[in-house]
Amino acid sequence: MRPVALTNFAMHNSSDLEPEAGSLQKLADNFYRLCAPNPSFMTGMGTNTYIYGDSELAVFDAGPAIDKHAKSILSVQETLDAPITHIFASHTHMDHSPCTQLLKKSLPKAICIGIPAEPNQPFEDHTFRPELEPKDLQIIDFASGQIQAICTPGHVANHVCWLLKEHGVLLTGDHLMSGSTVVIIPPKGDMSAYIASLEKIQRLRFELIAPGHGSLIFAPHKLIDWTIKHRFAREAKVLSAISNKPSPLDALVSSVYDDVERHLYKIAKYSLHAHLLKLERENKVRETELGWVLD
């Protein structure tokens, strides 16, 4: 099948300024977005569910367990006159995979692909039971082209990006999104792994990112480069804020994140903690009872 030319995306770009909950948005030939109705501070307009294919359809990130969203996804089969045969998940956060189970009630033969949550993890979807757990770089043959699993631990350990190889599109789930940086929440979120996974996708060839939240990203390698630099700049700021006098997390967040609004400190503290754990593993800082100090 002929690759989707970038001009194809450009054609639809004018309508792609924002995802719009509940409406099937055509992004290119055989490539659609259906944004879930779960807008919030953390999810932006909502979780992006992507639908790809021609004679068969693949769903990427079915989204949160909302009946209305499941019905919207199922109705795409009538709209596009093709069955949903595959359901991929980028990871098992509650805004990304739980709707898979709602779809499976109507699509018992659809193959679910992704990495399940580890047992006893809070905030994870334990209903996601894939038929296929991909290995890194495994290629799944699909009617409309090959889909490659790119394992990208960091945001969480079981995160996978999906590469539509013939089309040069990388579906990034929560590994990268447009409009904001990704929160890394230890212990499942790991800053060293996250940066390594950014460097990994930086080496891949593709033309476009379809993120789990927000609009399409048309200069993907520029954004990846910016994100890696941003993480190292933040890390340098963490190091310069730490001395031999113990600093607790609450004190560090206001100096390391002095460029963000105060109401974001609660969220910023997660990523700050992830940076500190990375630096601790590198023997640059250590935690004492009173706070963090240089090692």
Q: How far apart are CA 150 and CA 171, in angstroms?
A: 10
Nearer to Zn ion, 8 or 90 (CB): 90
Whether the Cβ atoms of residue 221 and residue 244 lie closer than 8 Å to each other: no
Nearer to Zn ion, 16 or 61 (CB): 61
Nearer to Zn ion, 93 or 167 (CB): 93
CB of 177 to Zn ion, least distance (A): 10
Nearer to Zn ion, 125 or 174 (CB): 174
CB of 156 to Zn ion, least distance (A): 6
CB of 184 to Zn ion, least distance (A): 10
E strand segments, the chain: 24-28, 31-35, 48-53, 57-60, 84-88, 111-113, 139-142, 145-151, 160-164, 169-173, 208-211, 285-288, 291-294
CB of 94 to Zn ion, least distance (A): 9
Q: How far apart are CA 96 and CA 106, in angstroms?
A: 19
Alpha helix (H) ranges present in 107-183? none
CB of 76 to Zn ion, least distance (A): 24
Q: How far apart are CA 9 and CA 162, in angstroms?
A: 18
CB of 14 to Zn ion, least distance (A): 29
Taking alpha carbons only, the member of 118, 120, 119, 99 closest to residue 110 is 99
Taking alpha carbons only, the member of 257, 252, 120, 240 closest to residue 181 is 257
CB of 124 to Zn ion, least distance (A): 10
Nearer to Zn ion, 69 or 93 (CB): 93
φ, ψ (nearest 5 deg) of residue 89: -125, 135
What is the SS3 assignment for 289? Answer: coil
Q: Which residues of the chain form contacts with Zn ion (CB under 5 A)? A: 93, 174
Nearer to Zn ion, 76 or 182 (CB): 182
Nearer to Zn ion, 30 or 90 (CB): 90
For tokens 């994870």, name the residue.
Answer: 124
The dihedral of CA 212, 142, 221, 184: what is its sign?
positive
